[in-house]
A = this chain, B = another copy of it.
Amino acid sequence: MEEPKAFTKHDHAGCARAAMRHAEVAAAEHGLRLTPVRRRTLEILLEEHRALGAYEVLERLAASGFGTQPPVAYRALDFLVEHGLAHRIRRLNAFAACAQPGTAHAPAFFICESCDHVAEAPAKEVRAALDGAAEAIGFAIARSSIEAVGQCPTCRSNP
């Protein structure tokens, strides 16, 4: 798995384009319908490596000519999350585009309190440890969330 890009300078336009392209391919392959609202929702999330609240997404969808009511945003967001194209960040009650689409993953999220960027990092060891803890008590994990709040490398060095 790659290094997370959220906290480092990178060709973001390309990064977003690649994610969009991945979504299209995945949709085609799995018979999903990447409809206009859904596509636009993903575009909106891909604009930045931040998590956006549903209402923030909704505003922009409305501005783009889609419906103006909460379910419009929630449905599109739920679709993206369900198909691994976005993640829900529980700590923020918000959503972020998936930064490593395609790679089988259940990442950990690192949320910078200073710049609001959210990075998705490989969490194989963390998952393994969590699975171990679950096994120890006989618990069967269906899904889990691992989220950390703190300071990203950039904000740490520019206080």
Contacts and interface: CB of A to CB of B under 8 A. Distances in A.
A143 interface: yes
The quantity of this chain's copies bound in the complex is 2
Interface residues of A, number: 40
Q: Tell me whether chain A's interface is mostly helix, strand or loop, or mixed.
A: mixed
A103 to B, nearest CB: 15
Interface in A114-130: 119, 121-123, 125-126, 128-130
B153 A137 contact: yes
A150 interface: yes
A32 interface: no
A147 B151 CA distance: 21
A148 B143 contact: yes
Interface in A60-119: 90-91, 108, 110, 112-113, 119
B142 A145 contact: no
Contacts of A136: 121
A137 B151 contact: no
A44 interface: no
A51 interface: no
A138 B129 CA distance: 21
14 contacts: A91-B145, A113-B142, A119-B139, A122-B133, A123-B129, A126-B133, A138-B153, A139-B151, A139-B153, A141-B148, A141-B150, A143-B148, A145-B147, A145-B148
